[in-house]
Structure 1
Amino acid sequence: MRYTARHIIAALLMAPLGAFAQHAGAPHAAQDAVVKELMTKELQDIPGKEVLMITVDYPPGSADPIHRHDAHAFVYVIEGSIVMGVKGGKEVTLKAGDTFYEGPDDVHTVGRNASKTKPAKFVVMLVKNKGAEFFIPVK
């Protein structure tokens, strides 16, 4: 199943990653990220927990709003380059093969495609409470 970012934020579904904001300064409106659910699996030996695995395709210039996940989030970049950061931490630029981690209490302050001309794609594996929404907007 494929989701556009607008569908996600509107419904705050468990699967994909929410609405992605337009990148400031882009000459034209940046396209929303596309999030695809790969699998959800209950962790039988850890009661009340499940894993959600998704891919995120960032078109050129795409960025996401400030949010948190209430989950352990493990990111692996497949292609392109992305910029990630959490509150109190440094922004990092990741390229294909690089990884990033966010904890359940982290506020994801920076998440964007590092390029205004090339797409980027990454996989996210989230360990979260079973049935809980994982994308939580932060104002």
Structure 2
Amino acid sequence: MVIRPILSAFCATVAIFASAGAAAHEATEIVKPNFEQAIPNVPGKSLVAVEVQYPPGAASVPHVHAKSAFIYAHVVSGAIESKVNDGEVRVYNAGESWSEPPGARHPVSRNASKTEPAKLLAVFVVDSNDKELTTPVR
């Protein structure tokens, strides 16, 4: 599969954050591309899926998602603690899912456990020309 610039930019962004987190001795997530495809009956939109692995105690840096990205997140294993926009911090266990509206702020996204790993699948429906799926919030 050819990885388009949108997925490459997302992975590069995550790699930068992972490096920064490692330098600060914080555990960070590991993001792996899972799927990417233009949606044939919705011109200009693509479906991009990534697997996000959280080692014990790992967290993502606070971030915002692309303004066009509708996101479906499904916990594959473990438990993920998440907060979207001004909502409550919530723990999602394996088998549970949530969605995030376009342009969502994601101030909390982390493994709920300090001893067990967790994994989620994030599926983005996004404008095909959006280059950045996530941007850090400082």
Normalising by structure 1, we get a TM-score of 0.80
Structure 2 distance, partners of 1:118, 1:47, is 41
Residue 37 of structure 1 pairs with residue 37 of structure 2:
no
Structure 2 unaligned blocks of 5 or more: 2-7
3-state SS of 1:105 partner: coil
Structure 2 distance, partners of 1:31, 1:65, is 10
Q: Which has the higher contact order (CA 8 A, sep 6+)?
A: 2
Structure 2 distance, partners of 1:103, 1:69, is 9
Letter in 2 for 1:119: P
Structure 2 distance, partners of 1:66, 1:127, is 21
Residue 108 (structure 2) aligns with: 110
Written as runs of structure 1 = structure 2, the 5 A alignment for 1:12-91 is: 13-15=9-11, 18=14, 19-20=17-18, 29-70=25-66, 71-91=69-89
Letter in 2 for 1:129: D
Please report how far the alpha carbon of residue 76 of structure 1 lies from its aligned counterpart in structure 2 after TM superposition.
0.5
Please report how far the alpha carbon of residue 15 of structure 1 lies from its aligned counterpart in structure 2 after TM superposition.
4.4
90-99 or 61-70, which moves further after superposition?
A: 61-70
In structure 2, the CA distance between the partners of 1:129 and 1:33, relative to structure 1 (3 Å rule), is same
Q: Is this contact kept in 2: 1:82–1:112, CA < 8 A? A: yes
Q: Structure 1 or 2: larger helix share?
A: 2
In structure 2, the CA distance between the partners of 1:84 and 1:118, relative to structure 1 (3 Å rule), is same
**In percent, how many aligned pairs have the same letter?**
32
Structure 1 unaligned blocks of 5 or more: 2-11, 23-27
Normalising by structure 2, we get a TM-score of 0.80
Please report how far the alpha carbon of residue 31 of structure 1 lies from its aligned counterpart in structure 2 after TM superposition.
2.9
CA deviation vs aligned residue, 1:55-80 (integer Å, no higher than 9, x gap): 01000111111111121110000110
Residue 92 (structure 1) aligns with: 90
Q: Is this contact kept in 2: 1:15–1:54, CA < 8 A? A: no
